Amino acid sequence: MSIGSDGATPVTIPTPHVLVIDDDEDLRDLFRDILEGESYRVTPAASALDPGEIARLAANPMILDLLLG
């Protein structure tokens, strides 16, 4: 553990992570480009994931196409 010059321990802020679920590849790419341009980490998916997979990804917000297919 490193300590800053003022004696405080530096805080690491995690990169926000967004899960984008859409069956339209063009929309997934669009959302990914926009969000990555704003310094988000993006995980795209073409279909709905099971709750365990979503929890494993530890994504914060999610963009979901409710009419997949």
Any idea where the domains of the chain sit in the sequence? 17-64
pLDDT at 68 over 70: no
pLDDT at 36: 96
pLDDT at 2: 56
Count of Cβ atoms closer than 10 Å to residue 27 Cβ: 14
pLDDT at 25: 93
Give 8-67 pLDDT, tens digit per residue. 888 888 888 888 888 899 999 999 999 999 999 998 888 877 667 777 777 677 676 777
Work out the pLDDT band at 1, boundaries 50, 70, 90.
low
CB 35 within 8 A of CB 60: no
